[in-house]
Each structure stands twice: as structure tokens, then as C-alpha cells.
Structure 1
Amino acid sequence: MGTAVEASNQLNSFEGANVSSVEEKPTVVFVLGGPGSGKGTQCTNIVRQFGYTHLSVGDLLRAEAESGSENGTMIENMTKEGQIVPSEVTMTLLQRAMKQSGNDKFLIDGFPRNEENRAAFEHGTGIEPVFILFFDCPEEEMEKRLLCRNQGRKDDNIASIRKRFKVFLESSLPVLAYYDAKGKVCKIDAARPVEEVFESVKTIFEPNYV
């Protein structure tokens, strides 16, 4: 995978291509990283500075799980086991949120979780992400962060955390490899302090910001 600077250079050359299709469809950036890698914090910073709408797939799924719907019960049970929710369910929630946002620039956080998700999104929407922002963080650091935070999440216990790590490694790495082959992965060292991480993030977004 390329460095942030390399990825930024690749994106500069990519930006000039297919301008009409980019204008016709929403701009999408997939945001990936293990649980506790700091994706959510950095997405908040990107929204504030660059005007994107942040759609956290985890938040959408948790909200649906708490709604009491039939899908919600299924989502809650699968989340407890660290399993990936079926693509059609996730896609429905995502597309609804995109339509309701009123924006045309999206950070889709925690998605695609696997190759099935990726194919379902691209085929279902006709949209390819402009790039993938990958927050790379050692498992030990992510575990420490998750255990220290106080958000009251049911899945922030050691057993669930380790299941989530395992699922991320097994399912998301092939997605990253797929997009890396297309020169679309921007890899960020996420083990550093928040401010330092965002400085690296800005070097990716600013040259390509519209």
C-alpha cells in the first residue's frame, strides 16, 4: 500500500479523469480501519474542514438494532458475535441515509466490510469510491483505546473486541488489496496523537478538495 503522499499524487492524476461522471454522482470516500483505530474522530475533523457527510455504518446498524424492527433484532445478534450483517440490509440503511443527508460528498465509515459489501455497493449504486482512507493501527493500541473509552457500548468488552479484530483482518484486508491494486488506498499511521494523524489526513484531502 502506498504512503499518504504517494496516494495523494495518484489521486491528482485520477482527479482529471472522467470528470463528467464524478459530477453526476456523489463523491464517496470509504474509511477503513480496525475497531479503535480512531476513524470516527478523524471523520469528525474531515466533516468540519472539508464539508463531507459522515455516515458510520456501525452507528446506522446500532440505531436500527435499537429500533426494535425485525432487522434490528438480527443485527443485534450478529453484532454480538462479531459477524458481518448481510449486504442488502447495510445497503438499504446507507442509501436511505445518503438520500436524507442533502449532501453529495460522503465519508462512509466502516464499509465495505468484505468483498461482498464492496461488490454490492458498486453494482447497486454505480459509484466507485474516489479513494479509501485506511487508518493503520497496531492491535494492542486499538484494544487499549477500546477498553479505556467510556461510551457504554455493549460490544466494548474484551471477548467482543477480539472477535471484531479477527473479523476485520479476515474480511477487510482483501478489500484493501483490491483497491490498492487500483492505486486508491491512502494509508495513515493511526497510532500517533489525534492532531498528528489529522495533519496527514489533510495532505490527502487538500490537494483533491473540490
Structure 2
Amino acid sequence: MATVVDSPNKEANKSALANKKVTIVFVLGGPGSGKGTQCGYIVQHFGYTHLSAGDLLREEMKSGSENGFVIKDMIKEGKIVPSELTIKLLEQAMLENRNDKFLIDGFPRNEENRAAFEAFTGIEPEFVLFFECSEEEMQKRLLSRNQGREDDNIETIKKRFKVFMESSLPVIEHYEAKGKVRKIDAARPILEVFEAVKACFTRGDIKVNQL
């Protein structure tokens, strides 16, 4: 289980998640690396609740709120939404769910996201699933999935991949230094990828580190 530690912030600024004692696995990978598909299998086999940071942001965007308009503009530009906004959406989703095991898909997107999440919640992930896939393969998948998302066009895809490479790799390196990263070759067929994923959830040597 992810370790909950005391935060240096005042009590009023602490997340209520500290009392829920949740287990969190971050799921990272470039756009089109297959994170969502694999999360579906993990939910079925291991009982986690899947929270997609991107889906939560898109739901907020559709709500017509002021924050929703900000999110819409940033997503169109392939930019990263402010940490505070995303963390609050994730916190609300976890507090409203009765489960205590969560896959957080597509977050943290950068080091600032990571630091802000850990500072606010006092929680560090049990481990990080990192789906490795070439830009060419991810681009082919995104253009062929035909889900009607307005960010599935060649120009925005290239922007998203560039942002991912520049911003997310430092997060991977941070957790890799702590022995928390489980790298997955995501270019393989779906079921082969899941066999590798299953091994990550059944390993007996996973260590839980305090912040």
C-alpha cells in the first residue's frame, strides 16, 4: 500500500485522502501507448479502480465551468493543465469511490505535478507502470482509433508527444531512482503486453518507500 506521511502543511491544507489510506499506481506512457486498454484488464484482474486524468479533465471541460474553458484551451495547444486543478479532480474521484486501490492514468505529467501531488496528499505511489512505445506506432494508433476526439489530429498528436518527452521523462527518472518503475514494451500485441503487466502486479519484491 502507498505510504501516507505527515505533511508540513497546516491541517486545513491536507488532503482527506490521508485518512482513506489508498494504494496508488501511476500509469504513464505517451499518447496512444495503450494505457487505457491495459488499465481495463488490470481493473478486471486485480480489482483496482481506473482513474484517467485526461477523462476527468474532459468531463470538467464538458461541464461548461470556468475551469472547463481553461482546460479546453490548454488541451487544444497540447499543454499541461495546472497541477492544482488536476489533483483536486483526482482527489474528489477517489474520495467518492469506495475502493482503496487506484490506477491513476496519465498523471503526473511532469515533475511539478508529481511534487504537488505528493505534497498535498502525503502519498507516494506503490509503483509506476511505464508503457514504452515509439512515436510512429503511437501516431498510427491515434489516427486509426476514430473516437472523435478533437485532439486526435496529426498536429496535436505531435505536440502531445513532444510535451510528453520533455515533461514526463523526469518523472520516470525520479521514480526509477527509487526502484519504483516497471517498464513495459507497449509495441507488442495487447495480450502479450498484459502478460508483462500482470507480472508487475504479482511481483513479491515491490517495496513501499516513504516520502
Tell me whether the two structures share a fold, i.e. TM-score over 0.5.
Answer: yes
Deviations 1:13-67 (A, max 9, x none): xx8x979999972100000000000000000000000000000000000010111
Could you tell me how far apart the structure 2 residues matched to 1:100 and 1:19 are?
A: 19
CA–CA separation in structure 2 for the residues paired with 1:85 and 1:203: 32
Identical-pair percentage: 70
Q: Which amino acid aligns with 1:49?
A: H
Q: Structure 1 stretches of 5 or more lacking a match? A: 1-14
Aligned ranges for residues 48-197 of structure 1 at < 5 Å?
Answer: 48-197=44-193
Q: Which residue of 1 aligns with 2:34?
A: 38
Name which of 196, 201, 204 aligns with 2:200: 204
Shift in CA distance, 167/20, structure 1 to aligned 2, threshold 3 Å: closer
Partner secondary structure for residue 169 of structure 2:
helix
| Change over 3 Å in CA distance of 1:189–1:23 after alignment to 2 | farther
Structure 2: any 5+ residue segments left out of the alignment? 7-17, 207-211
The match for 2:14 is none
Aligned mates of 1:44, 1:191 — CA distance in 2? 17
- SS of 1:134's equivalent? strand
Question: If each structure's helix is expressed as a fraction of its own residues, which one has the higher value?
Answer: 1
Q: Which amino acid aligns with 2:153?
A: N
SS in structure 2 at match of 1:192: coil
* Alignment match, 1:9: none
Question: Which TM-score applies when normalising by structure 1?
Answer: 0.88
C-alpha distance in 2, partners of 1:95/1:23? 12
In the alignment, the residues of structure 2 paired with residue 92 and residue 203 of structure 1 have an alpha-carbon distance, to the nearest angstrom, of 31
Tell whether the 8 Å contact from 2:5 to 2:123 is kept in structure 1 after alignment: no
Shift of 1:207: 3.0
| Matched positions, count | 194
